[in-house]
Amino acid sequence: MERTTYRDGWWPAGAMKHPAWLLAVVLLAVNDHVLKGSGMLPG
């Protein structure tokens, strides 16, 4: 198995630009707003 280093162009912060990560953040925000904003959950 090859090991990827930062010099190879891979950077952990680059994962935040991936559409799946962005979708997960949006889903989390909407879920939090809907559940807590509706009073269904305390907090």
Angle at 33 between CA 28 and CA 35, to 5 degrees: 95
Q: How far apart are CA 25 and CA 35, in angstroms?
A: 15
Q: Are the CB atoms for 21 and 15 separated by under 8 Å?
A: yes
Q: In the predicted model, what is the mean pLDDT of residues 15-32?
A: 86
pLDDT, mean over the chain: 77
Output 4 or 36, whichever has higher pLDDT: 36
Provide the whole-model pTM: 0.54
